[in-house]
């Protein structure tokens, strides 16, 4: 077995759609980023890449490459999961903790888990917590996500 840890953080930016775990949060302020800035999908992808020893998301989809401008992060995650499988690994599961003050994640959790699990090809659980006013995320300036992935070898 191999374990990988992923982390991503993005600040809020007016005029962008908020996408987390592949789910659009209607009416919410979006996140700044080169792609769709889906911090949850990015953290999951980095956890998978780390567990497989395949580098990080930025080395596969650099923000200096215009091909990835506005990219759908679920599509990127699907590519990452395929690369992990091509190395001979099976994804056991992925667990995520999203750190945010707003919006509420609970109404979207099931849809997020379904989209992420579909992209990864294994169970992905999503939880939320608050930073309780500490730091930039605690002041509501952005969203962070941690993810842990378990890979199994044949």
Confidence of residue 146 (pLDDT cuts 50, 70, 90): very high
Angle between helices 109-120 and 73-86 (to 10 degrees): 40
Where do the domains of the chain lie, and which CATH numbers do they carry? Answer: 2-152 (3.30.1330.50)
Segment 105-120 mean pLDDT: 97
Look at the block and give the residue holding tokens 């994640």.
105
Is 90 exceeded by the pLDDT of residue 93? yes
If you average pLDDT over residues 67-74, what whole number do you get? 85
pLDDT at 69 over 90: no
- Which of residues 47 and 34 earns the better pLDDT score? 47
d(CA 109, CA 95): 13
Query: What is the model's pTM?
Result: 0.95
Question: What pLDDT does residue 91 have?
Answer: 98
Q: Is residue 115 within 8 Å of 30, Cβ to Cβ?
A: no
Q: Report how far residue 30's alpha carbon sits from residue 116's, in angstroms, rounded to the nearest whole number.
A: 19
């Amino acid at each position: 077995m191999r374990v990988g840890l992923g982390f991503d953080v993005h600040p809020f930016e007016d005029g962008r759609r908020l996408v987390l775990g592949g789910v659009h949060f209607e009416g919410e302020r979006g996140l700044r980023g080169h792609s769709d800035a889906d911090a949850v999908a990015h953290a999951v992808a980095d956890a998978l890449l780390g567990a497989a020893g395949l580098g990080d998301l930025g080395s596969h989809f650099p923000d200096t490459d215009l091909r990835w401008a506005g990219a759908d992060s679920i599509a990127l995650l699907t590519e990452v999961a395929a690369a992990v499988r091509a190395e001979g690994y099976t994804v056991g599961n992925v667990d995520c903790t999203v750190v945010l003050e707003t919006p509420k994640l609970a109404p979207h959790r099931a849809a997020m888990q379904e989209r992420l699990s579909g992209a990864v090809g294994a169970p992905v659980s999503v939880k939320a917590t608050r930073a309780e006013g500490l730091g930039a995320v605690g002041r509501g300036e952005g969203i962070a996500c941690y993810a842990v992935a378990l890979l199994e070898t044949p």
